[in-house]
């Protein structure tokens, strides 16, 4: 029971199943070197240790500007990429993407408090701050996760309906359903990283629908992008591409695909 909980904490902290398993293993090793008889609450003690290990790993990664390990590397480490994909999907691809934009201490405070219900008195010594400062870290993280809405909620609801319909039709290979949400003169444009050998612009509903069906919307999930509804494509929770939608009169008139890592870092992403 402890191992599953600890892996959940570490994975939400690190966004990598391999690194999460390493953090959990370090927690058990530290337990083996301690006098378990002196530990009143084993679960809380292990959670604190694994959280500290994860925080150190995040800070080390940030100082070297490293990305989390990719699914192929995870397979070499003995993990099945499909297992990591299922885990990422169960948590929410958009949430994992947004968590990766937080500072390490903010991420820890948000994960432990908002996702696992730990008190700020418990979190404070892990991040080496006062309980009040730990609360502020979580609050800042929460604002980033929830995002600033650039359009009214009513418009967001309608945008979400259209984007959901686009994704469902793409996954189902339903060309007619795609044509129903695409403007006849819709344009799909993207950078080199996003288009991957395709022309930089694709014009017309039929051509855009065919491209969407071919992509299949795998690892895609709605998210707030710069305050409007869009799509993040994040295999295993690692941001690969973003789709920005321009919607007019209930139809998609333009889709911008962004895959360039530098441009992706500049986007304001939040969970819907």
Overall pTM surpassing 0.75 (yes/no): no
Same domain, 248 and 173: yes
Tell me the per-residue pLDDT of 37-76, one tens digit each, with 9 for 90 and over. 778 888 889 999 999 999 999 988 877 655 544 433 333 3
Q: What percent of the chain has pLDDT over 70?
A: 89
Q: In which residue are the tokens 């691809």 written?
A: 93
Same domain, 142 and 213: no
Q: Give the model's pLDDT for residue 149.
A: 58
Same domain, 137 and 258: no
Q: Give the model's pLDDT for residue 76.
A: 38
What's the total number of domains in the chain?
2
CATH of the domain at 164: 3.10.450.50
Average pLDDT over residues 223-248: 90
| pLDDT of 148 higher than 70 | no
Q: Give the model's pLDDT for residue 152.
A: 59
Same domain, 263 and 137: no
Cβ contacts of 17-23, under 8 Å, gap ≥ 24: 17/74, 17/79, 17/83, 17/84, 17/87, 18/69, 18/73, 18/74, 18/77, 18/79, 19/57, 19/68, 19/69, 20/54, 21/79, 22/57, 23/50, 23/53, 23/54, 23/57
Same domain, 12 and 88: yes
Burial zone of 12 (CB within 10 Å; 0-12 exposed, 13-18 middle, 19+ buried): buried
Domain boundary among 146, 177, 194: 146
Average pLDDT over residues 96-110: 91
The span from the CA of 225 to the CA of 127, in Å, is 29
Same domain, 186 and 80: no
Tell me the per-residue pLDDT of 5-22, one tens digit each, with 9 for 90 and over. 999 999 999 988 889 999
Same domain, 129 and 6: yes
| pLDDT of 82 higher than 90 | no
Q: Which domain holds residue 108?
A: 2-146
Q: What percent of the chain has pLDDT over 90?
A: 55
Residues 6+ apart with CB under 8 A from 128: none
Same domain, 103 and 162: no
Average pLDDT over residues 138-154: 76
242 close to 258: Cβ distance less than 8 angstroms: yes
Burial zone of 239 (CB within 10 Å; 0-12 exposed, 13-18 middle, 19+ buried): buried
Average pLDDT over residues 142-151: 74
pLDDT band at 133 (very low <50, low <70, confident <90, very high): very high
Same domain, 115 and 169: no
């Amino acid at each position: 029971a402890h191992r599953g909980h600890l892996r959940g904490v570490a994975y939400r902290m690190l966004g990598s199943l391999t690194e999460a398993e390493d953090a959990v293993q370090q927690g058990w090793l530290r337990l083996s070197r301690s006098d378990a008889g002196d530990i009143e609450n084993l679960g809380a003690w292990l959670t604190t240790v694994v959280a500290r290990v994860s925080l150190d790993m995040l800070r080390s990664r940030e100082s070297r500007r490293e990305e989390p390990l990719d699914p192929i590397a995870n397979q070499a480490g003995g993990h099945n990429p499909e297992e990591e994909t299922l885990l990422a999907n169960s948590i929410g691809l958009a949430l994992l993407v947004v968590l990766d934009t937080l500072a390490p201490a903010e991420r820890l405070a948000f994960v432990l408090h908002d996702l696992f219900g730990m008190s700020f008195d418990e979190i404070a010594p892990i991040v080496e701050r006062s309980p009040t400062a730990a609360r502020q870290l979580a609050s800042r993280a929460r604002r980033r996760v929830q995002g600033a809405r650039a359009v009214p909620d009513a418009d967001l609801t309608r945008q979400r309906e259209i984007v959901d319909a686009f994704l469902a039709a793409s996954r189902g290979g339903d060309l007619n359903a795609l044509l129903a949400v695409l403007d006849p003169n819709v344009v799909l444009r993207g950078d080199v990283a996003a288009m991957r050998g395709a022309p930089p612009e694709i014009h017309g509903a039929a051509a855009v629908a065919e491209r969407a069906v071919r992509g299949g919307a795998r690892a895609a999930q709605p998210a707030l992008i710069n305050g409007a509804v869009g799509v993040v494509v994040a295999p295993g929770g690692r941001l690969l591409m973003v789709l920005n939608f321009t919607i007019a009169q209930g139809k998609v008139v333009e889709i911008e695909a962004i895959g360039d890592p530098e441009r992706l870092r500049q986007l304001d992403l939040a969970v819907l």
